[in-house]
Amino acid sequence: MSGTNEIPLLLAYAAVACTLLSGVVSMFAVRRHPNFLHFGSFLFLFFSGAASIAAGAWALLAKLSLTDHFALGLPWLDWHVRIDPLSGFFLMLLGTLVVAISLYGPSYTREFARGEAAQPLPPLGVFSALFIVGMQMLLLADDALVFMIFWEMMSLSGYFLVVYQHQHAANRHAAFVYLLLAHVGALVILLSFGVLAAFGGGLTFDQMRAAKLSPLWATIAFGCAFAGFGTKSGMVPLHVWLPDAHPVAPSHISALMSGAMIKMGIYGMVRVIYDLIGDVRWEWGVVVLCIGTASALLGVLYALMQHDLKRLLAYHSIENIGIILMGLGLSMIFLGSGHMMLGTLGLVAALYHTINHALFKGLLFLGAGAVLYRTHEHDLDRMGGLIHRMPITALLFLVGCVAISALPPFNGFVSEWLTFQTALQAPALENGLLRTMIPIAAAMLALTGALAAACFVKAFGIGFLGQPRSRRVARAREVPAGMLGGMGLLATLCLLLGVFPTTVIEAMAPITQMLVQAALPSAAAQGWMWLTPISPQVASYSAPFVLIAIVAVFGLGYLILKRGAIAPRRAYAWDCGFGQLTQRMQYTSTAFSQPIRRVFGGVWKVDEQIDTLASAGPIPRVTSLHYSLRTQDWSWLKCYVPIGRLVLAAANRIVFIQTGNIHTYLKFSFVTLLVFLWIVS
Amino acid sequence: MTAWAFAAAQTLLFIAAAPLLGGWLQRVKCHMQNRAAPAVWQPYRNLAKLLRKRMLLAENASWLFRAVPYIVFGAMLLAAAVVPLITVHLPSAAIADVIVLVGFFALARFFTALAGLDIGTAFGGMGASREMMVSALAEPAMLMAVFTLSMTANTTNLSVATEYILKSGLVLRPSFLFALLALAIVAVAETSRIPVDNPATHLELTMLHEAMILEYGGRHLALIEWASQVKLMIYAVLIVDFFFPWGIATDFSALALTIGLVAVVAKLMLLAVVLVVWETVLAKMRLFRVPQFLGFAFMLSLLAMLTHVVLETGG
Amino acid sequence: MAISTLGLYSQAIILFAALALFTSFMMLAQARMMPLIFTFAWQGLLLAVVSVLVAIVSKHPHLYVSAALTVTLKVIVIPWLLYRLSVRLNMHYDAEVIKHPTLLLLGGVGLVIFSYYVAQSIVHLSGLATRHTIAVSIAIELLGMLLMSVRKSAVAQVIGFMSMESGIFFAAVVSTYGMPLIVELGVAFDVLVASILFGVFFFHLRDSFGSLNVVRFNRLSEAIEPVPLPDVAGESTLRDPS
């Protein structure tokens, strides 16, 4: 267990140990010593995150795959762990978010230490630690037992974090739905592992890799893995827990959940489908592509109608998971049809979008938390004008909005560009039907990209720009430096990943090499400045060029036009002659999304009510107007309520056996005993 | 090195010529509607006047409001740098990816919409909200049309695609016909022309694009107006490059460049006349008829893709 | 084979076939009566041009006769008959209300994809270089049937029926160089007689039901109560489809 080759594994152990220590330290953070949590616990989390990044980077860049095993658990079943480029990639993702949170957390958790939202601090620290340990260990897992133990640990501690502010009934309900769906998902994942273990003869991933599965059983294993991991990722229609659970957790936990926890579902899918099952079929790719497209479109349409900032961000996570699934689906279609390089391109696009989403969604949730910290408002319709009161937070949130809307030169654009390029290679397929359906899916991706931009214009414009719509927002102050540091780290990474895509793709080569035995040699063939994934004639993009050009134009324009110019004069805004404009005359978030609501009407369940009170008389004058709008997700009503009703109906059929009469129950036991004795004899 | 100089020269020519196209458009429209027409270089005079004027900013305009004109103009400048105007083989052609071009337009639109929301008046919000709806619906049609073209040329690079179409000679492709119609409709929607938006309206309730930039004045307004003229020219040159590329220069000899220049000027003048006739014949639509109009464009582009896959490629 | 390898006439065949498909879509979304009849006439003309081009490419002169027949019937006689009928029934300014036109058009696109899928198994049976247009002909037929099933005005249904027949004729032209002339003459005159009979029946239907909106024909069913009737006066006025 010595030598430089073992270092990634040792670093990973160190990361887990630091996380556990952070949990232990936070147990001392009782009411009079909150600093144990603020400084002690988050300090250990910082080291844990740094160690995760180091372990992941080492394994990825040095292309190592290391295994180890412990004699914990059951006597005949050891715990196996493994670190390889794929888990290294996800460890880096997790570590980055943990580091950002450890910078953000000390100031943010002051909110829970005292005042109106006071909660006991030890549970927060302990369960955060268990949550992160769960994720770290499941990335290191090399057999199904370890995987499931830590998957459940992640889900359960997530429950306690979601229900942390348990005084509100809505939070308890959200946490319950989360737990329910997490468990259903875990059961289905267990089924998938069961199939693989049965054919492989054991629970370790090595045995599962060697298993020879017939196409039918491989499809069953795929179906269970996709459904189970998809529940955790939040794909439609298994997404109903996400928009309720993510907003009610503390903001740094929401960032971790949306940034890292749902990516564990993607990790699981990639691990099981590409690594353990191995032989990817194109039909699976079609299913994944269809569900990905539906998730992307529905996610963004539902997000557009939200006026709670964190709920909007949660629905957006569904959209981005849809985009990742589209990349995975395209990759599976190409791999199943024998086009290795195009399949690799799809996989690279999906993984790139995974890390991009972790970064910018984490940033956006931390920004929403910053606003919540200062103003205690989470409704967009009560915010506004924060760009003047919280300028740095506004700038960092803007970076997140620009990145998630897939605009150059940030990172969201690179992964969407790669997904489009993969889809555009559809003519290489022989199946004519796929050649017509894939461009349609790409057009839907374009639609979701444009709708996402609309959604974030709304979120940033209504929340940060304009005039303040409520008193507390008008008096907000900038957040402490720690929170700005956490957000700034993620924003800088968004920019870096957007400007140096070739470096990132080169770094991801070991992953694809390990999974599909192919890489993208041409991606950086023209030098670090040009991204040419297929060939220079087919497509090329130079992000550094774009950034330099934008900065140059900005600088030039500023210099040329500002020199010698008269300073502008301030005056009141154009009011068309009506007189003083108040802040109530601004557009609200509902008003902003009204055109889109009208165009895509059937997607939501809309209940709109307008009650007017008019005075009587020959010419009625409206004296009061009450407007209420409720947009709901159809999935709960169409998918889950019928299942609930079915279960209740079935239960009602057999309820007659519960008579409440003691004699009846005794008679049941008596008859059962007689029948068994008869069978045994 | 000379190639980069040519690229820079072409970009500057593009930017400088955009107001001229606007002036020609205005002149033809006035003649068609029996009005007295201003000179062709009136837009230059307008821009010069605006650049000299003192700016008036609303009291609560933020730093974002003041930065947006530069961002928008920068994005349009970059877009103009990548679209081949006179010649195809330029080094800047390496980032001439059509999806990147769409990304630049999206960047400009995002920030313009934010500028509309910045002051906190109802007009800006209305313009931003309507513009985002129209652009969201135009995006799938545009990308589907572009996909059809890039599936034919097997590239998303504008320069390589133009060369491919040049080299294949006269081929009657129905997919190109439908893609041309779809792209024309999308161009009308994105550049805020009739029937989607009236560029000359004074009524705030009928504005889409103008409502977002209502608060701008002085040099900010000059930059934004110039940027929208450049955008119109980019769409026109895009249509010309994809569907009627004959005459574009493929090398740097003086003769080829002259022919390229004359050809593109003639084509743009002709396209402007077509646009004027279209604008005069049609009336501006109600806002909620625009989704049907753009849905029609999407159907056209879907048809283009289908005819390409079914009829034009073997098997 | 890719289109750039075909001769100019074959390319023109493909172009006109695609335009005929486009007219099918236009008919699907066209709410007003006169443009609908006009579009149908255009479709007939485009298909006649395709017949002429196929005649030139494959050197089967009897296709010229087919083309002349199509022009006479589908472009001149039948549209004129329908126009006269509409004027006499005072329906020529009518416009139907189509709910969700965009969804209808997208459904049409789905039908085209389906026709492509269906045609893939029979494409290798034809010897013509432009045999991929079989998918387009199946699509035109299916779109005609969609038109018949979705639209409410009786004239639109007649046009849908005629359009189906056009699709079948087109399929015959591109896959087997046309049908035997006797079959074509027979079908063509059947269609002509059918349109005359339709005209006669329209008068009877209008007298019995008071309108030519096929929704009202529900009253023939013995099982259900009469449907609540839309405003009678409002049917002959132009209505804004949104």
Q: Give residue-wise pLDDT tens across range C83-136.
A: 888 888 777 777 777 777 888 888 999 999 999 888 887 777 666 666 778 889
What pLDDT does residue C231 have?
A: 53
Q: Is A632 helix (H, G, I), strand (E, B) or coil?
A: strand
Q: What is the pLDDT confidence band of residue C150, given thresholds at 50, 70 and 90? A: confident
Q: How far apart are the first and last CA of chain A?
A: 58
Best C1, C4, C114, C142 member to test B by mutation, with max B CBs in 10 Å, is C4
pLDDT, tens digit, 9 for 90 and up, residues A190-220: 999 999 999 988 888 888 888 888 889 999 9
Containing A673, the helix (H) or strand (E) segment is helix A662-680
What pLDDT does residue C23 have?
A: 94
What pLDDT does residue C233 have?
A: 44
Of the two residues A246 and A538, the one the predictor is more confident about is A246
Cβ count near A545 (within 10 Å): 18
Strand A622-632 vs strand A79-83: parallel, antiparallel, or unpaired? unpaired
Is there a contact between B310 and C132 if contact means CB atoms under 8 Å apart? yes
Best A286, A429, A434, A436 member to test C by mutation, with max C CBs in 10 Å, is A436
User: b/e per residue, A596-613, with b = 16+ CB within 10 A?
Assistant: bbebbeebbeeeeeeeee
Under a CB-based contact definition with an 8 Å cutoff, are residues A255 and A365 in contact? yes
Best A407, A530, A603 member to test B by mutation, with max B CBs in 10 Å, is A407
How confident is the model over B16-34, as a mean pLDDT? 93
Rounded to two decimals, what is the model's pTM?
0.91
Q: Tell me the residue length of chain B.
A: 315
3-state secondary structure A518-559: CCCCCCCCCCCCCECCCCCCCCCECHHHHHHHHHHHHHHHHH
Query: Least CB-CB distance to B310: which of C29, C136, C242?
Result: C136
Comparing A42-51, A509-518, A527-536, B252-261, the range with the smallest average pLDDT is A527-536
Residue A332 has pLDDT above 50, yes or no: yes
Residues 6+ apart with CB under 8 A from A617: none
Which one, of A275, A248, A379, A269, lies nearest residue A321 by Cα? Answer: A269
How confident is the model over A14-40, as a mean pLDDT? 81
Say what the alpha-carbon torsion angle C145, C148, C150, C153 is, to the nearest 10 degrees. 170
Under a CB-based contact definition with an 8 Å cutoff, are residues A56 and A90 in contact? yes
Neighbour subunits, B (≥3 Cβ pairs < 8 A): A, C
Structure tokens at B114: 């934010």
Structure tokens at A329: 């689906």
Count CB pairs under 8 A between chains B and C: 82
Q: What is the pLDDT confidence band of residue C241, given thresholds at 50, 70 and 90? A: very low
What pLDDT does residue A665 have?
A: 86
3-state secondary structure chain C: CCHHHCCHHHHHHHHHHHHHHHHHHHHHHCCEHHHHHHHHHHHHHHHHHHHHHHHHHHCCCHHHHHHHHHHHHHHHHHHHHHHHHHHHCCCCCCECCCCCHHHHHHHHHHHHHHHHHHHCCCHHHCCCCCCCHHHHHHHHHHHHHHHHHHCCEHHHHHHHHHHHHHHHHHHHHHHHCCCCHHHHHHHHHHHHHHHHHHHHHHHHHHHHHCCCEHHHHHHHCCCCCCCCCCCCHHHHCCCCCC
Under a CB-based contact definition with an 8 Å cutoff, are residues A536 and A530 in contact? yes
CA distance C24 to B104: 37
What pLDDT does residue A678 have?
A: 92
CA distance A382 to A112: 23
What pLDDT does residue A564 have?
A: 66
Q: Where are the alpha helices (DSSP H) in A467-500?
A: 471-474, 481-499
Map tokens 């172009």 to a residue.
C15
Where does residue A294 rank: exposed (0-12), middle (13-18), buried (19+ CB within 10 A)?
A: middle
- Residues 556-615 on A with a CB inside 8 Å of B are 557-558, 561, 565-566, 568-576, 581, 583, 585-587, 591-596, 598-599
Nearest CA in chain C to A602: C100
Nearest CA in chain B to C18: B174
Amino acid at residue number B131: E
CA distance A608 to A586: 21
What pLDDT does residue C234 have?
A: 41
Closest chain A C-alpha to B240 CA, distance in angstroms: 21
Peptide bond into B43 cis (omega under 30): no
Containing A67, the helix (H) or strand (E) segment is strand A66-70
Amino acid at residue number A246: H
Say whether residue C193 is in contact with chain A using an 8 A CB cutoff. Answer: no
ipTM of the shown complex: 0.94
Question: What is each CA distance from C74 to B120, B255, C45, C150, C187, in whole angstroms?
Answer: 60, 52, 8, 22, 12
Neighbour subunits, C (≥3 Cβ pairs < 8 A): A, B
Containing A393, the helix (H) or strand (E) segment is helix A391-404
Comparing A179-188, A585-594, B201-210, the range with the smallest average pLDDT is B201-210
Residues 6+ apart with CB under 8 A from B42: B23, B26
What pLDDT does residue A2 have?
A: 45
How confident is the model over B264-284, as a mean pLDDT? 92
Cβ count near A560 (within 10 Å): 12
Is there a contact between B136 and A460 if contact means CB atoms under 8 Å apart? no
Residue A32 has pLDDT above 50, yes or no: yes
How confident is the model over B15-40, as a mean pLDDT? 93
Chain B contact residues (CB < 8 Å to C): 168-175, 177-178, 286, 288-289, 291-292, 295-296, 299, 302-303, 306-307, 309-314
Residue A504 has pLDDT above 60, yes or no: yes
Say whether residue C149 is in contact with chain B using an 8 A CB cutoff. Answer: no
Where does residue C114 rank: exposed (0-12), middle (13-18), buried (19+ CB within 10 A)?
A: middle
CA distance A494 to A508: 17
What pLDDT does residue B315 have?
A: 47
Under a CB-based contact definition with an 8 Å cutoff, are residues B296 and B189 in contact? no
Under a CB-based contact definition with an 8 Å cutoff, are residues C17 and B306 in contact? no
Comparing A183-197, A403-417, A603-617, the range with the smallest average pLDDT is A603-617
Cβ count near A662 (within 10 Å): 8
What pLDDT does residue B21 have?
A: 94
CA distance B144 to B241: 17
Q: Of A37-46, A259-268, B87-96, C201-210, which one has max mean pLDDT?
A: A259-268
What pLDDT does residue B228 have?
A: 94
C-alpha angle B158/B159/B165, rounded to 5°?
85
Write down the mean pLDDT value for chain C: 80
Where does residue B38 rank: exposed (0-12), middle (13-18), buried (19+ CB within 10 A)?
A: middle
Nearest CA in chain C to B292: C102
What pLDDT does residue C229 have?
A: 58
Residues 6+ apart with CB under 8 A from A493: A96, A359
Structure tokens at C71: 């022009």
pLDDT, tens digit, 9 for 90 and up, residues A126-178: 999 999 999 999 999 988 999 999 999 999 999 999 998 888 888 899 999 99
Cβ count near C175 (within 10 Å): 19
